[in-house]
Amino acid sequence: MNAIEDVPASPEADLAQSLRSVVGLAGITYSAAGVSAGSDLDFTAMNQVRAAVTQPPALVHIAAALEDMPRGDLHMALSACASRLPWVAGDLPKSPGITGKYAFIEILGPNGIEKTDRLRFGLYLQAPHVFYPAHDHEAEEFYYVLSGDAGWQKNDGIFCEYAPGTLIHHAPRDRHAMQTRTKPLLAMWIWTGDLDMKTYRIDGAA
């Protein structure tokens, strides 16, 4: 037998392969929704991804969020890697009411697993029954809902519930908020344009 075939893939290589699938499928999904930045989603250079040692508290909801996702290739790819990725609560300004109740990961971007200055791309998870206050930033943002029953508000409008498979667009400095209900929210996100995290503002920041 070929010696190469006798060597199993390392956990880091396996995780990278799953994540490459997620990024590729996300690119197809965003492009199909008319988001030009979808063509910039490229994860081919990363061969190994180190699995997380610890996770933020909100990650207890990732299994339920994945279970609620529509079945398909993206669900399969995320199920293979989401719980092992290095999620964070981040150091953005935040209100006390959401501490420990959300998590995100930047997969591509200036702070991403794969470095790029073209965009920021990642995943977002919010626990059930949580209000994420109105916030804004200079970046143009594209959320793509993967699972959950959250209500979304833009610029003081009414809260609207968007089903999985919905693209949500925020222009630079659009004020927006999210209210989860009985299920956790799982979504993909893209930032384009001004990627400076220092432009982020949120109501009630401590």
Sheet holding 102-109, edge to edge: 114-115, 102-109, 120-126, 185-192, 140-147, 167-170
Distance between CA atoms of residues 201 and 206, nearest Å: 11
187 closest CA partner among 166, 171, 202: 166
Q: Which residue has the higher pLDDT, 6 or 154?
A: 154
The beta strands (E) that lie in 116-166 are given as: 120-126, 131-136, 140-147, 151-154, 160-161
Residue 148 is encoded by which pair of tokens?
A: 């959950």
- 3 state SS of 57: helix
Residue 48 is encoded by which pair of tokens?
A: 């190994």
For residue 197, what pLDDT band results from cuts at 50, 70 and 90?
A: very high
141 closest CA partner among 104, 101, 180, 184: 104
For residue 142, what pLDDT band results from cuts at 50, 70 and 90?
A: very high
48 closest CA partner among 143, 119, 132, 113: 113
- Cβ–Cβ < 8 Å for 58, 103: yes
Distance between CA atoms of residues 6 and 3, nearest Å: 5
Q: What is the pLDDT, as a whole number, of residue 49?
A: 87
For residue 10, what pLDDT band results from cuts at 50, 70 and 90?
A: low
CB-count exposure of residue 10 (10 Å: 0-12, 13-18, 19+): exposed
Q: What is the pLDDT, as a whole number, of residue 193?
A: 98
108 closest CA partner among 166, 171, 53, 42: 42
Q: Cα-atom radius of gyration of the chain, to the nearest Å?
A: 17
For residue 206, what pLDDT band results from cuts at 50, 70 and 90?
A: low
- 3 state SS of 83: helix
> What would the pLDDT profile of 49-98 be if each residue is shown by its tens digit?
889 989 999 999 999 999 999 999 999 999 999 999 999 987 777 778 88
- Cβ–Cβ < 8 Å for 186, 125: yes
